[in-house]
Amino acid sequence: MSSSTDSGPTRSAASTAPPTRLAIGVDVGGTKVAAGVVDERGHILGSVRRPTPGHEPRLVADTIAEVVGELQVRHATGPATPIGIGAAGWLDRDGARVMFAPNLAGWRDEPLRDIISARLGRPVVVDNDANTMAWAEYRFGAGRGCTELCCVTVGTGIGSGLVLDGKVRHGAFGVGAEYGHMQVVPAGLPCGCGSQGCWEQYASGRALVRHAREITGSSPEAGRSLLALAGGDLARLTGPDVTAAAREGDPAAVKCFEEVGHWLGQGLASLASVLDPARFVIGGGVSDAGELLLGPARAQFRCALAGRGHRPEAEIVLAELGPDAGFVGAADLARAGTVGRA
């Protein structure tokens, strides 16, 4: 089943606003492929979504070609319209190959850019999906006006992007700013990247649900509301269930957010020691809980910050662009060409 929407600024027929150069952005995730036509101000003129057709890169390329084609027809974009892709995985320095995707089986040393380019019959720009989200927030969202910006997406795992001096920073080999895989607990929980004790195992949606199941399993009375939301089956409990319970003031659910928020703040304090950003922008599905997550994160950040009381503190704010940020940023990076990549 597919879905599509049209959105964007409303203008009268008499508007004299000059036309802007359009670009198409595509955000490829483990469950969905989302794409949109985006103008130079970050406005979305139309968008399309499809389920991700499995994890085979060539099937994904077919779906990308389908959504791009639909948007081109609907919005009469020409063959010169830039196309940018945000993909979940670790890309090489040139954005040509997905070297490794911890959460996408089969994406190992895949020439994704060439596969997509051949399928579309034109060049494309490819970057990590968290990097495209960071660029969108820097250009149009919660990072506007900030030259030193660190974005963290708290979803099933942790995605991250770093914008310094007007460029997305990738590191020497293209896989820099993968904060979710820095070790915070030696010999801790196993991670899909092959290591143990990674930050995303303690400060993510996966961790949130794990805590909720542990509380409910050990004390059914304490987790009564959570169990009810799961229909009596803990295996069916989801992150949105925990968020809903916490918003209603359920003590067990609130405690889960306190735990995850604690680890989030701890990790941000470590990043501040290395990167010293002016602002942390927090996005991803778990961030929908707002202050339930950010309150504990800010508290632990202040406690763990090196030199606290003798240095400025980075702001910790919510992302503004929501789930569309990935394709908005991909479109803008494609429009800019090599600008914005370092």
Q: Is the per-residue pLDDT at 269 higher than 50?
A: yes
Mean pLDDT of 134-147: 95
Residues 270-289 have pLDDT tens digits of 999 999 999 999 999 999 99
Residue type (1 letter), 135: W
Q: What percent of the chain has pLDDT over 70?
A: 91
Model pLDDT, residue 104: 66
Average pLDDT, the chain: 88
pLDDT at 8 > cutoff 80:
no
pLDDT of residue 223: 84
CATH class, 3-135+324-336 region: alpha beta
9, pLDDT greater than 90: no
Nearest-Å Rg of the Cα atoms of the chain is 20
Considering only 1-15, 65-79, 86-100, 179-193, which range has the smallest mean pLDDT? 1-15
Q: For domain 145-204+251-319, give the CATH number.
A: 3.30.420.40
Beta strands in 157-248 (DSSP E): 158-164, 167-168
Q: What is the mean pLDDT of residues 319-327?
A: 95
Q: What ranges do the domains of the chain cover?
A: 3-135+324-336, 145-204+251-319
Domains 3-135+324-336 and 145-204+251-319 share a fold: yes
Give residue 180's pLDDT.
94
| Whole-number pLDDT of residue 207 | 97
Helices (H) and strands (E) in the chain, counts: 9, 14
- Taking the complete model, does pTM exceed 0.85, yes or no? yes
Q: What is the mean pLDDT of residues 179-188?
A: 94
**Dist. CA 302–CA 14, nearest whole Å:** 52
Residue bearing the bigger pLDDT, 224 or 86: 86
Chain centroid to CA 319: 10
Q: Helix or strand or coil: residue 284?
A: coil
Tens of pLDDT, residues 201-240: 999 999 999 999 999 888 888 888 898 888 888 889 999 9
CA atoms within 13 A on the CB side of 13: 0
